[in-house]
Chain A
């Protein structure tokens, strides 16, 4: 590219990496859909189960909380990746 000093090129490269990282962080959080659906199913089924058997509500709630926690895991992996991209970006170090 003519008319560009090496400093400008470096700034441009950094800007591209930062912008792409921000987009990547946002895109990673689309994974929040999965846990949302899973937890919704979990809660709905628990309500059905309690409606059918109100005396077992304690055990059902306990099981539901564990199920929710497990459904959340994939969302948290995405969150960790998004946080890494935003606050501890590993890609910036690879420039030059």
Chain B
């Protein structure tokens, strides 16, 4: 069985949420330690080790393949942020690169047989809330108090409720998009394994190629592209 998520009981299949490893930690009711959090720690460790290894012994003129790869990755994100957000927002480069790597490695965790942390709505919701806070910060920073308030009654004052709903709909859609794609992959893989039973040889691999690799990288890319366009379009100067 590829994931801890599915428990094929007699003739039926159920898809459970992430396992709860410990409940009521430190005596606080409802403070849970779930599978998603533990897999995220693994992801953070992987990223930490990769970054430490890849940035050792850097030279001005790249000599090793390792440094060339590192420079390619960094320049890819510099180009992406510059073309999507403009030069004005170049301080967001680090965040966008970290976000992409974090989400991509999380999505790829399905390949190791672990449950994708991103197939948990609380993880994707958190990431979307960070984007939402950045959007509001950028609005306040570019427009000051007056511009921030004015952005809600544009183009006409009666649009106020629609603007407020729209402000919350963006992060909601952002969270549900990543969550929906990942959970769809997990559920479809589980169904394929269940349907094929002992004959599960080639077909799950093909499905996994799409859901665990292509979709994983694509959704991470879409998440950063949409985050970037939301942040840079929250510019309320003028």
A interface residues with partner B (beta carbon < 8 Å): 59, 62, 65-66, 69, 72-73, 76-77, 79-80, 83, 87
Contact A80 B226 (CB under 8 A): no
Residues of B within 8 A of A77 (CB): 176
Q: Smallest Cβ distance from B35 to chain A, in angstroms?
A: 16
Contact B222 A66 (CB under 8 A): yes
Give chain B's interface secondary structure class: helix
Contact B225 A65 (CB under 8 A): yes
Tell me, in angstroms, the Cα distance from A79 to B177 when the chains sit together.
10
Tell me, in angstroms, the Cα distance from A72 to B16 when the chains sit together.
25
Range class of the B interface residue count? 20 to 34
Q: Is B180 an interface residue (CB 8 A)?
A: yes
Q: Is B218 an interface residue (CB 8 A)?
A: yes
**Contact A65 to B176, CB < 8 A, known contacts A79-B184, A83-B187:** no
Q: Smallest Cβ distance from A16 to chain B, in angstroms?
A: 19
9 contacts between A and B (CB under 8 A): A62-B84, A65-B218, A65-B225, A69-B177, A69-B226, A72-B177, A73-B177, A76-B180, A83-B187
Tell me, in angstroms, the Cα distance from A76 to B187 when the chains sit together.
14
Contact A62 B225 (CB under 8 A): yes
Q: Smallest Cβ distance from B132 to chain A, in angstroms?
A: 16
Bitwise interface map of B from 80 to 92 toward A, beta carbon under 8 Å scored 1, else 0: 0001100000000
The answer, among B14, B83, B173, B180, for a CB contact under 8 Å with A79, is B180
**Contact A66 to B177, CB < 8 A, known contacts A79-B184, A83-B187, A87-B15:** no
Contact B221 A65 (CB under 8 A): yes
Q: Which residue of A lies closest to B225 (CB)?
A: A66
Tell me, in angstroms, the Cα distance from A66 to B184 when the chains sit together.
19
Tell me, in angstroms, the Cα distance from A87 to B177 when the chains sit together.
19
Tell me, in angstroms, the Cα distance from A89 to B83 when the chains sit together.
45
Residues of A within 8 A of B179 (CB): 80
Q: Is B109 an interface residue (CB 8 A)?
A: no
The answer, among B14, B221, B229, for a CB contact under 8 Å with A87, is B14
Q: Is B208 an interface residue (CB 8 A)?
A: no
Tell me, in angstroms, the Cα distance from A62 to B85 when the chains sit together.
13
Q: Is B151 an interface residue (CB 8 A)?
A: no
Q: Is B183 an interface residue (CB 8 A)?
A: yes
Q: Smallest Cβ distance from B217 to chain A, in angstroms?
A: 11
Please provide the chain B residues from 19 to 70 with a CB less than 8 Å away from any CB of chain A in the complex.
none
